[in-house]
Amino acid sequence: MSDTTMSRQESDAVSHPSHYTGGGIEAKDALKSAMAGSGLSPMASYWWGCAFKYLWRWSRKNGVEDLRKCRQCIDFLIEEVSE
């Protein structure tokens, strides 16, 4: 295999990582649906997305560390929407 050709497994780890898929739904699809029409500022949307990502994957990737990251993102989101 050449350097520019990825195996299917490597491609899936980049395009569709298992820790972002739960119950047959990918985090990006769930988040897109949840955020549709939210009317949030770009930064509020960013922090919400980050929090969502960590909460979605915590049990399949980094455990409590991801929960702590999620909490930090939620704190940033609260600051953003409180301004």
User: pLDDT tens digits for 20-78?
Assistant: 566 677 888 888 888 899 999 999 999 999 999 999 999 989 999 999 999 999 999 99
Is the pTM higher than 0.75? The answer reads no
| pLDDT for residue 77 | 98
Report d(CA 76, CA 25) in Å as an integer: 26
Reply yes or no on whether the pLDDT at 1 is more than 50: no
| pLDDT for residue 27 | 80
- How many CA atoms lie less than 13 Å away from 42 in the CB half-sphere? 0
Tell me the DSSP string of 61-76: TTTHHHHHHHHHHHHH
| pLDDT for residue 45 | 95
